Amino acid sequence: MFDFVIIGGGAAGYSAAISARQRNKTVCILRPEQNETWLSKAGKIHNYLGMPDISGKDLLAAFEQHVLDMGAEIKFGIAKQIMKNGDSFFISTGPDYIEARSVVVATGVRQPKQIPGEAEFVGNGVSYCGTCDGMLYKGKVVAVVAESIESIKEVDFLSSIAEKVYLSKGGIAFDFLAENVEVISGKVMEILGDETIQSILVGDQNYKVDGVFIFRNTTAYSSLLADLETEGNYIKTDRHMHTNIKGIFAAGDCTGEPLQIAKAVGEGNIAVLAAIKEKLV
């Protein structure tokens, strides 16, 4: 049980982490192994006060070192779902979960573009976790939409259970694929069915499937936490970074413009101090 789980390894999440460690709170930062934030790809950064003329990569590295030096824990994984459990929260990463008294959502600006039909079949044929739901498809046919490197392990696992796996590889490099995995070229354009999933549409071709697994580096807010209030693509917060759910805060680009490092660092700090002030941790 941590005081804080912070979802996201960018400026907002890391600032939240050091603010929590400064107050001697336990912190777990949950982030993808490939930490491809906007910052990691930025060229020279000039407007983060005190650290002029630095590459985004170096700035992110300095942030991460600071976080580790302050004693925060970094765990690789993608938050799939947040569940309330009395006064604490379970954050599911698929194969595992983390428990925390308070959560700071700092997942950045990118919300996944969902596939038509995806939202409709979530929990009823669409899954974001192979190790959780794979057994439901023993001897059946599934499709995998691969957009994160965790897909590699998941496809391996699913191919050992399902009769057949159709794989849309995205940009992911698979070293090995079992014989029952068929790579399909082209994007999955739609998930079709009536009460259950019947097929996927790729180009002008239909593939008959029983289930669709989608692996991305970000989870749609609606999947992460169905009740989370949003405004357009952003999580709605007040000036102290409260979301509409007690104990859950948001910080950084995911709360809206301006999409800036300084703003993210400020908001991470504010969120954690609000949680502490309100004795949530």
CB closer to its own copies, 22 vs 85: 22
Q: Is residue 198 within 8 Å of residue 175, measured between CB atoms?
A: no
Kindly state the number of chain residues that form the binding site for its own copies, as judged by CB under 8 A: 38
- Interaction of residue 231 with its own copies, rule CB under 8 A: no
For strands 54-55 and 44-45, give the pairing. Answer: antiparallel
Tell me the C-alpha distance between 14 and 271, whole Å: 12
CB closer to its own copies, 143 vs 275: 275
CB closer to its own copies, 65 vs 180: 65
Q: Is residue 193 within 8 Å of residue 169, measured between CB atoms?
A: no
Stretch that binds its own copies, among 13-21, 74-82, 123-131, 202-210 (CB under 8 A): 13-21
Q: Rule CB under 8 A: which of 236-275 touch its own copies?
A: 238-239, 257-258, 260, 262-270, 273-274
Out of 42, 70, 132, 245, the residue judged to bind its own copies by CB under 8 A: 70
Q: Where are the beta strands (DSSP E) in 134-204?
A: 141-146, 164-168, 181-183, 188-193, 197-202
Q: Rule CB under 8 A: which of 20-39 touch its own copies?
A: 22
Q: Rule CB under 8 A: which of 37-66 touch its own copies?
A: 46-52, 59, 62-63, 65-66
Q: Where are the beta strands (DSSP E) in the chain?
A: 2-7, 27-31, 44-45, 54-55, 73-76, 81-85, 88-92, 97-105, 126-127, 141-146, 164-168, 181-183, 188-193, 197-202, 205-208, 211-215, 230-231, 234-235, 248-250
Angle, in degrees to the nearest 10, between helices 11-22 and 261-277: 40
CB closer to its own copies, 18 vs 146: 18
Q: Is residue 147 within 8 Å of residue 172, measured between CB atoms?
A: yes
Out of 4, 14, 213, 221, the residue judged to bind its own copies by CB under 8 A: 14
Tell me the C-alpha distance between 267 and 122, whole Å: 32
CB closer to its own copies, 14 vs 121: 14
Out of 69, 96, 182, 227, the residue judged to bind its own copies by CB under 8 A: 69
Stretch that binds its own copies, among 7-15, 28-36, 139-147, 202-210 (CB under 8 A): 7-15
What's the one-letter identity of residue 202? V
Structure tokens at 64: 């991460």
Out of 3, 6, 15, 145, the residue judged to bind its own copies by CB under 8 A: 15
Stretch that binds its own copies, among 12-20, 24-32, 133-141, 171-179 (CB under 8 A): 12-20
Which chain residues interact with its own copies by CB under 8 A? Answer: 11, 14-15, 18-19, 22, 46-52, 59, 62-63, 65-67, 69-70, 238-239, 257-258, 260, 262-270, 273-274, 277
